[in-house]
Amino acid sequence: MAANLPLSILLLGGGTVVVYAAVTDQQGGPLGVIGRALRGQKQGSAHTAFTAAEIALDPTTQAAAGAGAADPATQAAAGSPVAAAALQYARQLEGVPYRWGGTTPAGFDCSGLVQYVYAKAGVQLPRTTVPQALSGKAVAGIAQAKLGDLIFFGTPPHHVGLYNGAGMMVNALKTGTFVREDNIADIGQVTAIRRVA
């Protein structure tokens, strides 16, 4: 199984790298997200050389992944298997252009992206940010956010993205940009966080 895991790499400050992957069952259904923090690595092309062998699936990690949790490096931010699947779908769409009113891989606006990836994961959400901000249950703050939680900005909410851990989110920000990962602090003041799966 480990040889076929699709890996994502998150570069943090101080030479820390988090390598993580969505774990699926034999039918391709989401089980969870596993990851490992690697410290002291050189920045640059060496990070892209990591393989699935960097993530050791020992029995305790496998059990945690089956429960929708992650290893100690990312456990605090682990979301449900459905949220992990939605976030993985969003990551796969990075590079798709922003399009106002867009709801397909031809182009997305922020709420269109959220609605699309959660629908692929099996959760139906409203089309626009205001009703999306009333979906699911409230999360008290960013310290309690889990991977795949919805992060909203503005009152009433006018922007939304999916929490990607370490203060980052995947979103479709504005005209002229693409679906991408952004630092939450660079977007503005968070006004709501919702857990929809």
Residue among 4, 110, 158, 183 flagged as catalytic: 110
| List of long-range contacts for 8-11, beta carbons under 8 Å, 24+ apart | 8/91, 9/47, 9/48, 9/50, 10/164, 10/165, 10/166, 10/168, 11/43, 11/47
Candidate list 4, 47, 171, 183, residue with the active-site label: 171
Q: Which two tokens stand for residue 139?
A: 């999360």
**Is 171 a known active-site residue?**
yes
Give the residue from 87, 66, 65, 62 showing the smallest Cα distance to 147. 87
Classify residue 7 as exposed, middle or buried by CB count within 10 Å of its CB (0-12, 13-18, 19+): middle
- List the Cα angle 38/16/142 in 5-degree steps: 110
Q: Which of 4, 47, 159, 164 is catalytic?
A: 159
* Catalytic (active site) residue 164: no
Has 159 been annotated as catalytic?
yes
The CA radius of gyration of the chain, in Å to the nearest whole number, is 16
Q: Which residues are catalytic?
A: 110, 159, 171
